[in-house]
């Protein structure tokens, strides 16, 4: 049995006592450490005392139950001496609680426990008992676990029990409570995998029942079941049934069902083959791109990258791209953003000439989009078009867009824009990083938002790794080191944070010649926070670089050990003692 270290800082007895506390925060803390308690008291007391006590917690608040199922889902089988059946009653009880995530985790743990039982007859006996008790429960939510468990054990039980399980599913699929029908619909895909053990008449009856259901959240999960059915011989036996059922879903009156269908189009295409997709479903995708609902257009645009691999290149040119040209200026920003995320994936498929003529105009339009999120999304996919057309032809269009994004009001946009620099440095080389572009990076270094400054510092390290220290020192680092003279202390901190970030990329000669004088000067800074960070930078350099770097760092730290600020003095002395 694994021995778990007590890292809580509390005596184990106090953690055990917290299980009975009236304070929910203390109960949650204790439940989080059930494995520690079990490890301490041993498997016998865990089985005979702790597990029965846990049963009394099952009426607790949802927050406690969420932590409880998580704790029991870790290595508790080992903590009860490998006797998995000891845990089954607790997991079964958790399948009856209100919180859906707890029920699902508990049901999945029952599945896991059953796989660890060596006796097949015992597996059948225990699993059928659990399923029937949950199915007969007065609380209808328990049927959630029934829908999860039946597919998991279906092929491990006798014919008679299989028939009983099929009857349970049939009744659940026609239950008066929509939520029960939803559970059945959601997990029916797992049962279909057992075809032909699960016969085709049963599958058809269930799917026919679901397709007529008035609740759209029940109809939409048929898509998953049909995809699974298409991966079995069921497709060959009932091809017309499957295709017609798919088409009904594609034309469903509810946009949610059509949305779900569109979201799964690539999986459908893979299941029915490229030829089957082109013949039966390609036109639905093209239709969705013209839907009145912006959500439908968005999901259809998002799927371009996946479904384009199923299309004939001629159809992409003649049928798909004309539609994309119409939505590149869609009034909904989400639609344009979805297009930006996927349209460039067409470039490798249609080749250089067609990319230049057909995709480049769309790219340039999106590059000027009024919504900065659209432009950022496009930048993140830039390599897909540059790999086909080359970067030189695009750089003149990209730099103005980059400059505009660098000044965006949203700091997250500014931070995301910085990451584009290393892509261009790697793809084009230093010639892309003109004075204008490097000025953007320096502006980001002085941004008022810490995350933007930090991203700029990280990007500096990236540029050094791509272009080398000599290039960086000449074109960039000397300008960053000049920040130490700026009045705003945040700019001066940026100098130290940059040194910390690039320490591993600096050679000792550069440190002695350039970094040591910077630190000596900044050790006299009027702001204590700066001097404190000089301590941190000095100890990092000394430990990481060693050799002839240690003595200069010691001298700086010795100076700071007499600092007028108590915290700085303490840091410097502690650093010296560690060297």
Q: pLDDT (tens digit, 9 = 90+) per residue, 113-157?
A: 999 998 889 999 999 999 999 999 999 999 999 999 999 999 999
Indicate the pTM of the whole model: 0.76
Mean pLDDT of 356-375: 89
pLDDT of residue 139: 93
What percent of the chain is predicted at pLDDT more than 70?
A: 97
Pick from 517, 495, 510, 433: nearest CA to 467: 433
One DSSP character per residue, 385-408 reads HHHHH-SHHHHHHHHHHHHHHHT-
The residues, any chain, with a CB within 8 Å of residue 533's CB and separated by 6 or more, are 493, 496, 497
Mean pLDDT of 346-350: 95
With beta carbons less than 8 A apart as the criterion, state whether 306 and 320 touch.
no
Average pLDDT of the residues of the chain: 90
Residue 179 has pLDDT above 80, yes or no: yes
**Band (57; pLDDT cuts 50, 70, 90):** confident
Residues of the chain by 3-state class (helix, strand, coil), percent to 5: 80, 0, 20
Alpha-carbon distance of 457 to 500, in angstroms, equals 10
Alpha-carbon distance of 434 to 316, in angstroms, equals 38
Measured torsion, CA atoms of residues 274, 251, 258, 345, in degrees rounded to the nearest 10? 30
pLDDT tens for each residue of 381-421: 888 888 888 877 777 777 777 777 777 888 888 877 777 77
pLDDT of residue 3: 67
CB atoms within 10 A of CB 61: 12
pLDDT of residue 193: 93
Cis, peptide link before residue 25, omega less than 30° from 0: no
With beta carbons less than 8 A apart as the criterion, state whether 296 and 262 touch.
yes
pLDDT tens for each residue of 191-245: 999 999 999 999 999 999 999 999 999 999 999 999 999 999 998 899 999 999 9
């Amino acid at each position: 049995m694994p021995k778990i270290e007590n890292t809580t800082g509390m005596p184990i007895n106090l953690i055990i006592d917290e299980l009975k506390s009236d304070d929910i925060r203390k109960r949650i803390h204790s439940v989080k450490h059930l494995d520690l308690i079990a490890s301490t008291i041993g498997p016998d007391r865990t089985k005979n005392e702790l597990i029965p006590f846990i049963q009394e917690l099952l009426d607790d608040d949802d927050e406690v139950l969420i932590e409880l199922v998580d704790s029991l889902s870790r290595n508790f089988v080992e903590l009860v001496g490998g006797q998995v059946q000891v845990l089954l009653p607790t997991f079964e009880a958790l399948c009856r609680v209100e919180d859906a995530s707890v029920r699902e985790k508990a049901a999945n743990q029952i599945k896991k426990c059953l796989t660890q039982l060596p006796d097949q007859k015992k597996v059948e006996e225990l699993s059928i008992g659990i399923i029937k008790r949950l199915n007969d429960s007065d609380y209808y939510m328990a049927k959630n676990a029934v829908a999860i468990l039946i597919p998991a054990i279906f092929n491990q039980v006798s014919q008679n029990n299989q028939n009983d399980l099929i009857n349970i599913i049939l009744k659940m699929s026609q239950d008066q409570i929509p939520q029960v029908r939803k559970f059945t619909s959601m997990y029916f895909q797992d049962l279909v995998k057992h075809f032909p053990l699960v016969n085709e008449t049963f599958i058809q009856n269930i799917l026919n029942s679901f397709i007529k259901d008035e609740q759209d959240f029940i109809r939409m999960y048929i898509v998953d079941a049909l995809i699974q059915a298409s991966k079995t011989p069921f497709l060959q036996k009932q091809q017309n049934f499957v295709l017609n059922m798919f088409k009904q879903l594609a034309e469903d009156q509810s946009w949610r069902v059509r949305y779900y269908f569109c979201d799964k189009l690539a999986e459908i295409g893979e299941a029915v083959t490229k030829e089957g997709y082109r013949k039966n479903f390609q036109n639905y995708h093209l239709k969705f791109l013209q839907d009145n609902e912006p959500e439908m257009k968005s999901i259809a645009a998002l799927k371009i990258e996946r479904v384009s691999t199923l299309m004939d290149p001629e159809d992409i040119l003649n049928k798909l791209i004309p539609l994309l040209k119409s939505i590149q200026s869609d009034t909904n920003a989400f639609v344009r953003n979805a297009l930006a995320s996927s349209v460039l994936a067409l470039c490798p498929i249609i080749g250089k000439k067609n990319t230049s003529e057909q995709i480049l105009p769309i790219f340039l339009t999106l590059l000027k989009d009024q919504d900065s999120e659209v432009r950022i999304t496009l930048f993140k996919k830039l390599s897909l078009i540059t790999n086909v057309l080359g970067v030189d032809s695009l750089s003149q269009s990209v730099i103005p867009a980059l400059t505009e994004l660098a000044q965006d009001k949203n700091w997250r946009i500014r931070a995301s824009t910085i990451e584009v620099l290393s892509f261009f440095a790697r793809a084009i080389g230093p010639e892309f990083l003109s004075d204008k572009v490097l000025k953007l990076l320096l502006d980001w270094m002085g941004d008022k938002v810490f995350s933007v400054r930090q991203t700029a510092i990280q990007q500096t390290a990236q540029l050094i790794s791509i272009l080398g220290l000599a290039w960086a020192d000449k074109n960039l680092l000397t300008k960053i080191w000049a920040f130490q003279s700026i009045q705003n202390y945040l700019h001066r901190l940026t100098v130290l944070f940059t040194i910390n970030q690039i320490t591993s990329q600096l050679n000792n000669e550069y440190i002695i010649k350039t970094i040591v004088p910077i630190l000596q000067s900044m050790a006299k800074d009027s702001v204590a926070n700066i001097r404190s960070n000089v301590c941190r930078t000095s100890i990092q350099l000394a430990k990481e670089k060693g050799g002839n770097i240690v003595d200069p760092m010691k001298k700086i730290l010795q100076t700071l050990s007499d600092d007028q600020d108590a915290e700085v003095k303490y840091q410097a002395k502690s650093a010296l003692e560690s060297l």
